[in-house]
Chains A and B, each alone.
Chain A
Amino acid sequence: MLEGKKVIAIGERDGVPGPVIAECLGGAGLEVVFQVTECFV
């Protein structure tokens, strides 16, 4: 169902970092077109 879908991954400093989200979603067959980690404080 997720295969080939494009995804934007936004990680959070105190939560899950962007590269980790990208790694997981990429492994599940999604195409990560952009990933970043942000700090919201």
Chain B
Amino acid sequence: MSDSLKAVRIGVEGVFYSLTHVPDLVRYGSKPSRETKANHDLAEGLAKKLRSFPEAVAYAPHQVYIGNITPEELNGLTKPWYEKLIEGASVQGRFGDLVDQSRFYSLLAASDQFDLVTFEEKWFQEHAGGGPANGRKPRLRSIAEIKALCDKGAFQLCSGGMLVGAFEAGHAEDANLTAEILLENLAAKVTAAHALRSLLNAVKLHPGEIDYVISCSEEAVGDRYNRGGGNLAKAIAEEVGCENASGSDTKAFCAGPLYAMVHGASLIQSGVCRKVAVVAGGSLAKLGMKFESHLKKGMPVLEDVLGSFAVVLEAAKPNMPCVRLDSAAFHPVRAGASPQAMAEFLAEKPLAKLGMKLTDVDRYGVELHNPEITVPSGSGDVPRTNYLTLAALAVMRGQIQKSQMEDFVRARGMVGYAPTQGHIPSAIVYLGHALDALRDGKIRNAMFISKGSLFLGRMTQLSDGCSFLVEQCPG
């Protein structure tokens, strides 16, 4: 393995992952909102199969997400995981947490600068009183006033199916400032802010020490003249109290987080910034995306959480886990969109540049969607498909025998555990476990590979992707 003096390493100070359980917002996911309008029976079925917060906490993949169980341990647990709940599961993880819906509503109210959110006074005081210390005073009204707002078109905010609040549009005519879109955007903002605030607390870093925030959330923030105009990053920085920071958004569908990491690391390497936070909030539109398949199979609706994360990057120190910036690779326009081309350009070529083979990587972080969510709908086991592609490439290059493909997948891959939140499962979700495994000496390195479905936006037929190696800085 090459470890020349040219190695460019940027330190990872810490990472925090959060899952916000929002069962009453599942019906506002893109798929449920469309399907339940056409079929009211589906709405009833959906409501009956929503999970309680304790059930979401005790769901093994969620415990992996927040760091209390390793992906290797998850692989050994009996399925279905939604039935074999973890006894004594905690909302606090080694590098993450789970947040309940009432707390989320509280955060939503505290971060609202435009009087979009209103809650019923008594319910709010009893259930959601504690927002962040620097949060704004919530707008509280009677239930009659809440109902009147909803009659005028505001979105209902419910708790256990009971109306407790309203979310209003930001403009009477602007299609980009509807209640639906602003709820998505504000949900992304507050979940990302929660992850960053929690990370700064965990690593004992004052928000004022962050120079720059990069958001790779997927929401399109902007009005009718600036759809997707963005800089949610700066709104998140403000929310967390990063008063010395500015920020910007990095978007590339699910490939966004790894691009954001490379951009953040580059800002540090170039000397422009000292500490950069990379953050993303959850995707409300993806809630309940596969709920019909789950209902048909008698399963609970598993897509009931908003995923978020935050990473802080800084100059590398001895023995610190770090991103190898010189290993970063992008998927070029000329590469083509086939899985083999993606693997060549995102794994084989950047490794070869460092004098490494595919078999020199101890663990690959790919798109780690939870198969228990995707397989019932016919979407397959996404991580396994990606690992098999890497293994097949290793066979083609003569690095392993065909008979060793399963060994390659077992040794260098892992079972998926992330909710189908688009950018969240896309490799970055493994960083927390990778840092632990590096510190414990269980692995020497890990390669992160993400892919983005650019073609969904109908601007190009291309896919996209980004990758880099993570390893321990020499002592």
- A17-B338 contact given A41-B367, A41-B374, CB 8 Å threshold: yes
A16 within 8 A of B: yes
- Within 8 Å by CB of B453, from A13, A15, A19, lies A13
A1 within 8 A of B: no
User: What residues on B are CB-neighbors of A17 within 8 Å?
Assistant: 337-338, 455, 461, 463
Interchain residue pairs with CB less than 8 A apart (14):
A14-B339, A14-B451, A17-B337, A17-B463, A18-B455, A20-B337, A20-B338, A37-B337, A37-B455, A37-B463, A39-B453, A40-B374, A41-B379, A41-B425
Q: How far is the CA of A19 from the CA of B455 in the complex (A)?
A: 11
* B341 (CB) vs chain A CBs: closest residue: A17
* B residues contacting the other copy or chain, number (CB 8 A): 22
Task: Name the 10 nearest CB pairs between A and B, nearest first.
Answer: A39-B453, A40-B379, A17-B337, A37-B455, A14-B385, A13-B453, A41-B369, A19-B461, A41-B420, A41-B382
Q: How far is the CA of A38 from the CA of B338 in the complex (A)?
A: 13
For B367, B380, B420, B455, the residue with the greatest tally of chain A CB atoms inside 10 Å of its CB is B455
B396 within 8 A of A: no
* B451 (CB) vs chain A CBs: closest residue: A13
* A residues contacting the other copy or chain, number (CB 8 A): 14
Q: Which residues from 297 to 336 on chain B have a C-beta closer than 8 Å to any C-beta of chain A?
A: none
Give B contacts to A, CB under 8 Å. Answer: 337-339, 367, 369, 374, 377-380, 382, 385-386, 420, 422, 425, 451, 453, 455-456, 461, 463
Residues B338 and A13 in contact, CB atoms below 8 Å apart: no
Residues B461 and A37 in contact, CB atoms below 8 Å apart: yes
User: What residues on B are CB-neighbors of A18 within 8 Å?
Assistant: 455, 461
Q: How far is the CA of A26 from the CA of B422 in the complex (A)?
A: 32
- Supply 12 further A-B pairs (C-beta < 8 A) apart from A13-B453, A14-B382: A14-B386, A15-B385, A16-B338, A18-B455, A18-B461, A19-B337, A37-B461, A40-B374, A40-B377, A40-B379, A41-B369, A41-B422
Residues B380 and A14 in contact, CB atoms below 8 Å apart: yes
* A39 (CB) vs chain B CBs: closest residue: B453
User: What residues on B are CB-neighbors of A16 within 8 Å?
Assistant: 338
User: What residues on B are CB-neighbors of A39 within 8 Å?
Assistant: 453, 456
Residues B463 and A13 in contact, CB atoms below 8 Å apart: yes
Q: Which residues from 1 to 29 on chain A have a C-beta closer than 8 Å to any C-beta of chain B?
A: 13-20
User: What residues on B are CB-neighbors of A19 within 8 Å?
Assistant: 337, 461
For A15, A18, A39, the residue with the greatest tally of chain B CB atoms inside 10 Å of its CB is A39
User: What residues on B are CB-neighbors of A37 within 8 Å?
Assistant: 337, 453, 455, 461, 463
